[in-house]
A and B are shown apart, each in its own frame.
Chain A
Amino acid sequence: MIRDGRVCGEPLIFEKSVPGACAVDLGPSDVPSTDPTETVPASMLADDAPPLPELGELEVVRHYARLGSRLFSVDANFYPLGSCTMKYNPRVNEWAAGLPGFTALHPLQAEADVQGALEMLYYLRVFLAEIAGLAEVSLQPAAGAHGEMASLMIINAYHADHGGVRPNVMTTDSAHGTNPASCTICGRNAVQVKSRPDGLVDLDDLRVKVDDQTTALMITNPNTIGKFDPQITEMADILHKRGAMLYLDGANMNAILGITRPGDFGVDVMHYNTHKTFSTPHGCGGPGAGPIAVTKALAPYLPRPQVEKRGDGTYFQNHDMPKSIGKVRTFSGQIGILVRCYAYLRALGPDGLRDVSEKAVLAANYIAACLKDEPGYELPFSGPYSHEFILKPRLASGLRVLDYAKRLIDFGIHPPTMEWPIHGALMVEPTETESKATLDEFSDAMKRIAAEAAETPDKLKDAPEYAWIDRADEVAASRKPNLCWQAENAVDSNGR
């Protein structure tokens, strides 16, 4: 099938299967074969072999190359997805992660044989503690939300030792959904603290709601509307006076690297998202890393083991942490991700990291400045912004924000986050890795879409026009999801 010169309608690999086709001749096995009927109980044996696809090597390569060419990625296109920090992942990270000293390791190897990897982990901890302005770091959590959970467990363990665990955790109304979810999974009640109309925390509401039942306040600063809340040290005081902790969701660290440090503005515990701030891949659900940093008071409760340095310069895994909450991940966490994070930090150094944040903030404010006088949009919160900002289309003629987002795809740009944290708006985060030309391209596209919205709204309603597929029916996909492929004529387990 030909459309616009592109091959479309790529079938599933199962549908391309040709009985008898084969990609690789494995040759005779050099180990004796076993009859499964002699080793596996009959009740566990399938009647037939699974219907695996049979194809030649080139067909397999072309199938995946075609699908791969349709991926929308930051390597190919601008991806200003707010709060997700879709920055470029430098190739040097991949070189470092591919070094045989990391790829050929086994986690149970003797300590003496893995000194290089331990040294990397040790210094990554030191660097992340320094960036946080906090005493200690654990690299174990496998994602930001996992870091949140581990952190709440640590605070709970601390409170258990200091007057008893507390039932409530406060979150803000612009919080990432993971914050209240982490509270719930740790058995705490999430209590929401209000924001003022300018998007900053309502301190009066916080004062009323914080008491000796409060575990912590979880806050993102700068927050998800792109404003740094200057009341943060006051919030820390309000919490600390009642024995509660200040937790920083580090999702927006890309705005403040080397400019300020969470530990310096009163934070007791925080997590990093290495895939946001430190350029490790956004992994479609994994693998990831969500290191956490804590004050000295909380350090004894960190997951174990921790990599430590001996007086003779060698490194070891310290399991002797009697107050530790235990392991939250096998071995030392996701080393393949952590080494990319380490490579990024070493490539940039302290001045380079500050430069990252300054340019990320500049890029966001530049786009905001390009669009602030555009009649088709409003900026509901006043600038200057940190690394992201809220852009609200002035909707008319039955259009939704979704229509603007879909039209942006036609300009080769990934739509920003929609409808969150502000209803009817987009959250734009360009990151520091984009050139001025790309930022201009985005601003121009947004202006053109605003003009289309006024003159030819159907252009937006019918978008995307130039994507691989037309607009997906998201309602049907949610209400009646069809997630299982079956061959035509296939018979399911119920004989239908």
Chain B
Amino acid sequence: MDYPTDRRYLASHEWHKLDGDTCTIGISKFAADELTDITYVDLPATGTEITAGQPFGEIESVKATGELTSGVPGVVTEVNEALADAPENINEDPHGAGWMIKVKVSDPSSVEALLTAEAYQAQLGG
């Protein structure tokens, strides 16, 4: 598939979409498909400070558990509360309704340093 070019990616499959100084973070369709049915996400509370390269949450599926890593530093301004009751949103619409957190970033250019859709897709092997 073609990954949206309006955002940047981490090799660990998290996407980062910048809007002003707010960065929305979720996981890629590839990651959601690999995990299969997602059953639970553990996300930080609003106001939490997150660090680039460090886990900000956890994700569980019927098959595996994994950490969610942020590519940028910032403060969590909004959490997708709907995921608590409907984690399937991540499987069904990973790049849209399956978003996880919004982060206020101090340096918006830090998002630019992450992988482009093309580079992300290339490291998936096409």
| CB-defined contacts of A47 to chain B, threshold 8 Å | none
Q: Known interface pairs A479-B87, A479-B88. Does A419 touch B37 (Cβ–Cβ under 8 Å)?
A: no
A residues whose Cβ falls under 8 Å from a Cβ of B: 400, 419, 474-475, 478-479
Instruction: Give the 10 A-B CB pairs with smallest separation, nearest first.
Output: A478-B39, A475-B37, A474-B62, A479-B39, A419-B63, A475-B62, A478-B62, A479-B87, A475-B39, A419-B64
A sample of 18 inter-chain contacts (CB < 8 A) reads A400-B36, A419-B63, A419-B64, A474-B37, A474-B62, A475-B37, A475-B39, A475-B62, A478-B37, A478-B39, A478-B40, A478-B60, A478-B62, A479-B37, A479-B39, A479-B40, A479-B87, A479-B88
Complex Cα spacing A479 to B41, Å: 11
Complex Cα spacing A479 to B37, Å: 9
Complex Cα spacing A104 to B87, Å: 52
| CB-defined contacts of A474 to chain B, threshold 8 Å | 37, 62
B residues whose Cβ falls under 8 Å from a Cβ of A: 36-37, 39-40, 60, 62-64, 87-88
Complex Cα spacing A479 to B63, Å: 13
Complex Cα spacing A228 to B37, Å: 34
| CB-defined contacts of B88 to chain A, threshold 8 Å | 479
Complex Cα spacing A81 to B53, Å: 36
| CB-defined contacts of B64 to chain A, threshold 8 Å | 419
User: What's the nearest-Cβ distance from chain B to residue A361, in Å?
Assistant: 29
Complex Cα spacing A400 to B61, Å: 15
Complex Cα spacing A40 to B64, Å: 48
User: What's the nearest-Cβ distance from chain B to residue A223, in Å?
Assistant: 19
Output the nearest chain B residue to A401 by Cβ-Cβ distance: B63
User: What's the nearest-Cβ distance from chain A to residue B81, in Å?
Assistant: 16
Output the nearest chain B residue to A419 by Cβ-Cβ distance: B63
Output the nearest chain A residue to B62 by Cβ-Cβ distance: A474
Complex Cα spacing A401 to B106, Å: 45
User: What's the nearest-Cβ distance from chain B to residue A59, in Å?
Assistant: 37
| CB-defined contacts of A478 to chain B, threshold 8 Å | 37, 39-40, 60, 62
User: What's the nearest-Cβ distance from chain A to residue B125, in Å?
Assistant: 15
User: What's the nearest-Cβ distance from chain B to residue A319, in Å?
Assistant: 42
User: What's the nearest-Cβ distance from chain B to residue A421, in Å?
Assistant: 11
Output the nearest chain A residue to B60 by Cβ-Cβ distance: A478
| CB-defined contacts of B40 to chain A, threshold 8 Å | 478-479
Complex Cα spacing A478 to B35, Å: 14
User: What's the nearest-Cβ distance from chain B to residue A474, in Å?
Assistant: 5
| CB-defined contacts of A400 to chain B, threshold 8 Å | 36
Complex Cα spacing A419 to B60, Å: 14
| CB-defined contacts of B37 to chain A, threshold 8 Å | 474-475, 478-479
| CB-defined contacts of B36 to chain A, threshold 8 Å | 400
Output the nearest chain A residue to B61 by Cβ-Cβ distance: A478
Complex Cα spacing A478 to B40, Å: 8
Complex Cα spacing A419 to B40, Å: 19
User: What's the nearest-Cβ distance from chain B to residue A356, in Å?
Assistant: 33
Complex Cα spacing A245 to B57, Å: 30
Output the nearest chain A residue to B63 by Cβ-Cβ distance: A419
Complex Cα spacing A474 to B40, Å: 13
Complex Cα spacing A331 to B112, Å: 59
Output the nearest chain B residue to A400 by Cβ-Cβ distance: B36
Complex Cα spacing A474 to B62, Å: 7
User: What's the nearest-Cβ distance from chain A to residue B69, in Å?
Assistant: 13
| CB-defined contacts of A475 to chain B, threshold 8 Å | 37, 39, 62
User: What's the nearest-Cβ distance from chain A to residue B68, in Å?
Assistant: 16
